[in-house]
Amino acid sequence: MSKAPVTKRGPAKAATAPFAEIVMVCAKCAKRQGVGAKAVRGGLKRALKADHRGRKVRVVETGCLGLCPKRSLTLATAGSLGAGRLLVLDPGLAPEAMLQALLPARADEP
């Protein structure tokens, strides 16, 4: 992994992220649905590798995101959080369908 340039902005430092998008999976919701956050995370990662959209995506497990829907999973992306939204998905969805709901194809992508 190459070293990213670090810049100073006042008291904080900034560095270039090694990924373009982030997907957060609520581990508590996954556990309540009996699927496990690691299984959801692994399925999304496999779907991302097969998708070849050309952007690097980091999939991480988080603690509780504060929204606890019944019979659903709570996920978030940087874009959804920027809009003040959390995404609620059916745990029975295929990882490819989850990926499409989380990161829809952009107009400049094939």
For residue range 34-78, list pLDDT tens digits in order: 888 888 888 988 888 887 666 788 999 999 999 989 899 999 999
> What is the model's pLDDT at position 54?
62
> What is the model's pLDDT at position 36?
86
| DSSP 8-state code for residue 28 | H
Res. 107: pLDDT tops 50:
no
Question: Which residue segments constitute the domains of the chain, with CATH numbers given?
Answer: 20-102 (3.40.30)
Output 6 or 49, whichever has higher pLDDT. Answer: 49
pLDDT in tens, 13-32: 888 888 888 999 999 999 99
